[in-house]
Copies of this chain bind each other. A is one copy, B any other.
Amino acid sequence: MDKKQQAMQAAIELFATQGYEKTSIAQVCEAANVSKGLVFHHFKNKDDLLRQVFVRMAEIISEVGSNVDASNQGLSVKERLINLFEHIFVSMADPKQKLFYQFDYQVKCQPSMRLILQDLLDERYQLMMASFEVILTEIPTANYPVDSHMLIAEIDGIALNYLFAGEDYPLAQIKQRFINKYLLLLGL
């Protein structure tokens, strides 16, 4: 792994666990065993580091996500919806991705970070809307754009509460109730 990657790796960990504002470039350098000059050689400034880190993180998450689409080939709508839900819940419980999600919620909720990443956030939201669209538009009882917004929001809320709660959050049971609820709502 080259030094630039080392720096980004250290940055993502520190941003997620301490927050972007609370993380100094000096800390990133120490954690990555890299000099300050190196960081400012590869990244225009701290905001640029944030953006590149965010992009890299989104890539990693979507690499994982692309498997679902592949495995959904030839299944019924109901099965594909359940598959998608299962994938999402598995992914948020994956310890390797926990950091990414924590980081993500910080970005969403901190006005100053939102500003820096606005375009990237919007782009990703469109992607998520699209991935629900292909399923929901096949279900006559679905209320397409509204249900997609709602789904995204609710999953966000569950992930947020799960990530920042203690050990005993009943994620598995919530998942079951959540899926039941949608199957009922959509008459599947």
Contacts and interface: CB of A to CB of B under 8 A. Distances in A.
Interface of A: 17-19, 21-22, 102, 105-106, 108-114, 143, 145-147, 149-150, 152-158, 160-162, 164, 169-170, 173-174, 177-178, 180-182, 184-185
Given A160-B157, A185-B181, A19 B111 contact: yes
Contacts of A160: 108-109, 153, 156-157, 160
A185 to B, nearest CB: 5
Contacts of A162: 153
Contact of A109 (B18, B108, B170): B108
Which applies to chain A's interface (DSSP): helix, strand, loop or mixed? helix
Contacts of A181: 181-182, 184-185
A180 B185 contact: yes
Given A150-B177, A161-B156, A170-B145, A102 B111 contact: yes
Contacts of A109: 102, 105-106, 108-110, 160, 164
20 contacts: A18-B111, A18-B112, A19-B112, A19-B113, A102-B111, A106-B110, A108-B160, A108-B164, A109-B110, A110-B110, A149-B161, A149-B174, A150-B158, A150-B178, A153-B161, A153-B162, A154-B157, A181-B181, A181-B185, A184-B184
